[in-house]
Structure 1
Amino acid sequence: MLEIAGLCVSVRGEDGEREVVSDLSLTLKRGETLCIAGESGSGKSMTALAIMQLLPQPAARISSGMIQLGEIDLATLNERQMQRIRGDRIAMIFQEPMTSLNPVLSIGRQLTESIEAHTDLSSAEARRRAIEALKAVRISEADSRLKQFPHELSGGMRQRVMIAMALALKPDVLIADEPTTALDVTVQGEVLELLRDLQREHGTSIILITHDMGVVAEMADRVIVMRHGRMVEEGKVADIFARPRADYTRELLAAVPRIGTGAGRQDLGQTIPKTLNQVALVDDLHVGFDLRGGFFGQVNRRVHAVEGVSFSIAPHETLALVGESGCGKSTTAKALAGLVPYQGDIVIGGRNLSGLGRDERKAVRRDVQMIFQDPYASLDPRMRVGDLVAEPLLIHGIASKQERRERVATLFERVGLSADQMDLYPHEFSGGQRQRICIARALALRPKLIIADESVSALDVSVQARVLDLLKELQREFGIAYLFISHDMAVVENISDRVAVMYLGQIVEMGTRDQVFSNPRHPYTKRLIEAVPVPDPAKRRPRFARLDQEIPSPTRKIGEPPPKLTLKDVGNGHLVAAS
């Protein structure tokens, strides 16, 4: 279906032109899934953009090579000729659906646009095909969805719309660039299963670009491993995992977190009294957001984001809060950090935030710091990173200017950076380095509790492993407690002491790491663990059971209470919800 020979892609920068893809050759057969794996900057996405002739102009260009689709060399086509092929014979699913979909056009308009551009169908016929495409990707009430806009859909549904758009014209080749990186593990399982179904039905050839080796093991027939723009290894998926030849491939596979490999930990729930020595105590936490509607904009509905959540965190302990997007994990974290209004009790270091004045709250919040998911969005691009790390000290009036600089230099060295890098700007660092800067900033005030909100989900697997090792090392050294928020169950199993599972704003299961992973009792917890792709082709599951509908909405009419759940102890502090 597709053959690439000697592809070179060059990018022009301040220092002249350099190659970001060098001498790449590959073939793709009908009905085959070829995975291109590697870290950020390895040239995976630039290869995909070169195939689609979507390289950013004029900075990037194909300097040499052939891209043969059937009898056509795509590298020789002009834009008008490429428009007839792009979307029709070859289509692409991008990584972030929210930025790939036009926010001011309805889903229906965006779906029918490409159908009308490549066929002679009437508007009514194009609409019918768009509805069929949405049904094919298991979107309920497809007819009414056409009128909705991207922001009205969940992340999983937006990604399915992108897949429907790509497959509406039944292309010969589908390029999926990190299609599941930002998705919850259960939605990821559904999307991967959907791609397999559509491949079986239409014989579509798939190029799947990813840094997740679990997804590679789950989906690939063949694998290409790239590094620094070059192919370092190619082979059948079973051979790559069982007998990797390149050192880099072995390093990549060794860094993959696997469920069942987490180091043994003491049962903190049994050894530390519940009422003593707690860094943080959350009791009956409620967070809701009013929605306005109607002609006069009156409050008529309420989002029950967090409903009756209680837990505690001890020194040296990592409590993982897991669940799908929209379950209330990040809202709980924001309430704990004082970023959203709440009802209930939050006690930090023995002091209840509800009864404190503004200055007292500011003092107590020194003990709680946060590491956000996107390090680049967390860092002011106009400030030097040394000033960013020193900012918390400046806000709280701690130390002189020279002392602050010395402390920041020490923090940089502690997180694996050099003091010489303090005068650089955020854009001059890699993603993993930026996350280390965020960790240094969180450590600046020597907090008792650090909230890590999806702090490694966007990182490559090898960078992720290094950041997790750093967090564990800092915990051993400083006695910090972590509230670790994630939807990646394999990562959670490797770092947590206790685990709390959230669903629709409530905790449905909580216990030690071993209790939850070895003996999950709630159906939702079981589904989360089953959804994790195993990084071993020999253990590839035959199918992943998809849900027929989206997770119910936490939005209810004013006065309508959410379903009440009671946590029951099923043994040794293992709590499971009962309706």
Structure 2
Amino acid sequence: MSAQAQTTPGAVAAPGIATGPEAGAPVLTVDGLTISVRQDGGEAVLVDNLSFALGRGETLALAGESGSGKSLTSLAIMGLLAPGLRVSGGAVRLRDTDLTALPESALRGLRGNRVAMIFQEPMTSLNPILTIGAQLTEAIRAHEPVSKSDARVRALEALKAVRLSQPEKRMTQYPHELSGGMRQRVMIAMALALEPDVLIADEPTTALDVTVQREVLDLLRDLQREHGTAIILITHDMGVVAEMADRVVILKQGQMVEVAPVRDLFAAPKKQYTRDLLAAVPRLGDGSSAQALPEPVSQTPIASLSEVKVRFDIRGGILSRVTHRVHAVENVGFNVYPGETFSLVGESGCGKSTIAKALVGLVPHLGRIELNGHVLGGLSAQDQKALRRDVQIVFQDPMAALDPRMRVGDLVAEPLLIHGIGSSESRRATARELFDRVGLSPDWIDRYPHEFSGGQRQRICIARALALRPKLIICDESVSALDVSVQARVLDLLKSLQADFGVSYLFISHDMAVVENISDRIAVMYLGQIVEMGTRAQVFGNPQHSYTKRLIEAVPVPDPSFERPLRPRLTGDIPSPIYSLGEQPERLLLKNIGDGHLVAVG
């Protein structure tokens, strides 16, 4: 639960600077910060006259949509603005030192030592060719005159402080050998190894599963309590803001819209933009009041899976023989019916995306998969191509899914071209029609992907998926990287398209609040197997499996007054779907506890 912000007696703030609960002078003061970018016609202001102060042991959240200036502010504090960007006004003071006036050599000594930063994607921040121990040791020795052996001892202590399992082993491993949550813990250990005064956490949990997110947030809170570190938390997740922040600064297009203690902001937001931002946050419970649809027994399913298995061999040794096997999907079965949204939820590595790839023929599988009455496997190339017209997929990252060299109108019409449907003129007309249908101007079809925002690019991907009028669209984490307001608009669009076209969705996500708000039926996966399956009301209103309960309990609640019950921290190594050759996971049997609510019993 967030600490209630208080005014410190005797603390004096600079005019116009928002202050928080601190003893004495602020640790960090941002005063009238203005960031500009050089353009042909002069300069454009990206962050305009931003001011706030940060006290010792305080967490200040910078919240707002993409493009609001959150990350730019953090980069300006660190002195890491990209070429072409500059601080054109104001000051950033660390105690009495103006960081904007320091040369690069002086800033290099402060980064990591007194001001540290955790980025959203740890894999881009860690060197893939150095071990974890080498990177931690290097970071410590870069700032303090200690021997290599002493630095290794401190590095090991840092890994223990962030509660990383088997820290001695992790010191010898490379980044790719660790899970996303482990890598983020390493980044936190690296940031806190030198006990900085200020820690900037830029979307530190956005890409993490809900249970790993819970562990990282608890860890940050514990470390802050132990070291008194001041934290600037940058996020668009208002649930995380409610649980972590003492005060909140709301940004929109580079300007401060509102600043307030977290409880005041959530209880009585003063600005319409803040109210809209909070209203767009998906909340657990919002979807349960809607009438849950029973499983239709008289309809033929669009997709049917039975005893589906997907396994990958791991080779090793001099002869490169198969020594282990990844059991990515084990004995999975479910149906997706016309016009319904069936969701798969679970942590990374549980097999959700592997099932999606098997459905569209991108990975080989065992067992039986039927699409629109046709069994996958054994079909001719021509028949497979025809069958794929019925199934389309929308991926998590729209920029990676769109060819940057092609105009978006051509991208949307490309499926029609591949399947030889229509003339050039009719395909272009279809693209314009689909643009209009997903809420984009048809006049934009000659633009390129980089000219659109993230939410607009995802709409383009949805338009392309609709081009062939498929019966099933697979949405693989398709809204997880979007801002809450953009996410809400995309989810509304998906529901509207479903009502108009009767399309079915296989919705894959680890965001339980989103899943509850959009789903008719849900399957919860753990290590390649389904542990619980039922209607939305059954799974969220009456969860039976311990893993389902843990997923739901871990969801950040956008309410600062919410008291999270104390739960024991998870210890030990994360279970793995990798088994030695000849071994395999224990099969889980699903028991019907009533009205089609299935729960694993063994």
TM-score of the superposition, structure 1-length normalised?
A: 0.98
- Aligned match of 2:147 in 108, 111, 122? 122
- Indicate the residue corresponding to 2:74 in structure 1: 48
Q: CA deviation at 1:105?
A: 1.3
Is 2:531–2:599's contact at 8 Å kept on the other side of the alignment? yes
- Indicate the residue corresponding to 2:436 in structure 1: 413
Is 2:120 aligned against 1:95? yes
Identity of aligned residues (%): 67
Inter-CA distance 222–388: structure 2 relative to 1 (3 Å threshold)? same
**Structure 2 residue identity aligned to 1:419:** P
- Indicate the residue corresponding to 1:323 in structure 2: 346
- 1:411-466 CA deviation, whole Å, 9 max, x = no partner? 00000011110000000000000000000000000000000000000000000000
- Aligned match of 1:562 in 585, 594, 597? 585
Is 2:351–2:528's contact at 8 Å kept on the other side of the alignment? yes
- Indicate the residue corresponding to 1:22 in structure 2: 48
* Structure 2 Cα separation of the partners of residues 513 and 138 of structure 1: 35
* Structure 1 Cα separation of the partners of residues 405 and 257 of structure 2: 38
Bigger Cα displacement from structure 2, 475-484 vs 144-153: 144-153
Q: Which runs of 5+ in 1 are unaligned?
A: none
Is 2:288–2:536's contact at 8 Å kept on the other side of the alignment? no
Is 1:190–1:545's contact at 8 Å kept on the other side of the alignment? no
Between the two proteins, the alignment pairs up a number of residues equal to 576
Bigger Cα displacement from structure 2, 400-409 vs 438-447: 400-409
* Structure 1 Cα separation of the partners of residues 566 and 253 of structure 2: 35
Is 1:265–1:497's contact at 8 Å kept on the other side of the alignment? no
- Aligned match of 1:381 in 387, 396, 404? 404
- 1:171-221 CA deviation, whole Å, 9 max, x = no partner? 111000000000001100000000000001011110000000000001010
Is 2:304 aligned against 1:278? no
- Indicate the residue corresponding to 2:222 in structure 1: 197
Is 2:63 aligned against 1:37? yes
Is 2:454 aligned against 1:442? no
- Indicate the residue corresponding to 2:328 in structure 1: 305
SS of corresponding position for 1:260:
coil
- Indicate the residue corresponding to 2:450 in structure 1: 427
**Structure 1 residue identity aligned to 2:537:** D
- 1:14-68 CA deviation, whole Å, 9 max, x = no partner? 45321111101100011000001000000000000000001112x1111111111
**Structure 1 residue identity aligned to 2:412:** V
Is 2:274 aligned against 1:249? yes
Bigger Cα displacement from structure 2, 210-219 vs 62-71: 62-71
Is 2:244 aligned against 1:219? yes
* Structure 2 Cα separation of the partners of residues 509 and 95 of structure 1: 31
- Aligned match of 2:201 in 176, 181, 186? 176
Is 1:137–1:164's contact at 8 Å kept on the other side of the alignment? yes
SS of corresponding position for 2:595:
coil
* Structure 2 Cα separation of the partners of residues 13 and 370 of structure 1: 38
* Structure 2 Cα separation of the partners of residues 426 and 258 of structure 1: 31
* Structure 1 Cα separation of the partners of residues 136 and 269 of structure 2: 42
**Structure 2 residue identity aligned to 1:237:** V
- 1:151-172 CA deviation, whole Å, 9 max, x = no partner? 1110111111000000001111
Is 2:498 aligned against 1:475? yes
SS of corresponding position for 1:537:
coil
- 1:214-240 CA deviation, whole Å, 9 max, x = no partner? 000010100000000010000100000
Is 2:411–2:464's contact at 8 Å kept on the other side of the alignment? yes
- Indicate the residue corresponding to 1:366 in structure 2: 389
SS of corresponding position for 2:377:
helix
Equivalent residues in 2 for 1:342-353, closer than 5 Å: 342-353=365-376
* Structure 1 Cα separation of the partners of residues 241 and 188 of structure 2: 19
Is 2:37 aligned against 1:7? no
Q: CA deviation at 1:13?
A: 3.3
- Indicate the residue corresponding to 1:503 in structure 2: 526
* Structure 2 Cα separation of the partners of residues 549 and 480 of structure 1: 43
Is 2:58–2:229's contact at 8 Å kept on the other side of the alignment? yes
**Structure 1 residue identity aligned to 2:43:** E
Is 2:213 aligned against 1:188? yes
Q: CA deviation at 1:543?
A: 4.7
**Structure 1 residue identity aligned to 2:507:** F
* Structure 2 Cα separation of the partners of residues 183 and 559 of structure 1: 32
Is 1:319–1:484's contact at 8 Å kept on the other side of the alignment? yes
**Structure 1 residue identity aligned to 2:34:** C
- Aligned match of 1:453 in 430, 455, 476? 476
Is 2:288–2:540's contact at 8 Å kept on the other side of the alignment? no
- Indicate the residue corresponding to 2:11 in structure 1: none
* Structure 1 Cα separation of the partners of residues 54 and 496 of structure 2: 44
Inter-CA distance 349–14: structure 2 relative to 1 (3 Å threshold)? farther
* Structure 2 Cα separation of the partners of residues 265 and 2 of structure 1: 47
Is 1:36–1:223's contact at 8 Å kept on the other side of the alignment? yes
* Structure 2 Cα separation of the partners of residues 243 and 267 of structure 1: 33
Q: CA deviation at 1:367?
A: 0.3
Inter-CA distance 264–543: structure 2 relative to 1 (3 Å threshold)? closer
Q: CA deviation at 1:265?
A: 4.6
Is 2:288–2:541's contact at 8 Å kept on the other side of the alignment? no
SS of corresponding position for 2:330:
strand
Q: CA deviation at 1:262?
A: 1.2
- Indicate the residue corresponding to 2:425 in structure 1: 402
Inter-CA distance 15–395: structure 2 relative to 1 (3 Å threshold)? farther
The alignment yields a C-alpha RMSD, in angstroms, of 1.1
- Indicate the residue corresponding to 1:571 in structure 2: 594
Is 2:569 aligned against 1:552? no
- 1:68-122 CA deviation, whole Å, 9 max, x = no partner? 1112111111111111111011100011101111111111111111111111221
SS of corresponding position for 1:423:
coil
Is 2:37–2:44's contact at 8 Å kept on the other side of the alignment? yes
- Indicate the residue corresponding to 1:159 in structure 2: 184
Is 1:322–1:499's contact at 8 Å kept on the other side of the alignment? yes
- 1:227-283 CA deviation, whole Å, 9 max, x = no partner? 00010000100000000001100000000000101164554444x117x32111011
**Structure 1 residue identity aligned to 2:564:** R
Q: Which runs of 5+ in 2 are unaligned?
A: 1-26
- Indicate the residue corresponding to 2:13 in structure 1: none
* Structure 2 Cα separation of the partners of residues 14 and 554 of structure 1: 54
* Structure 1 Cα separation of the partners of residues 449 and 57 of structure 2: 43
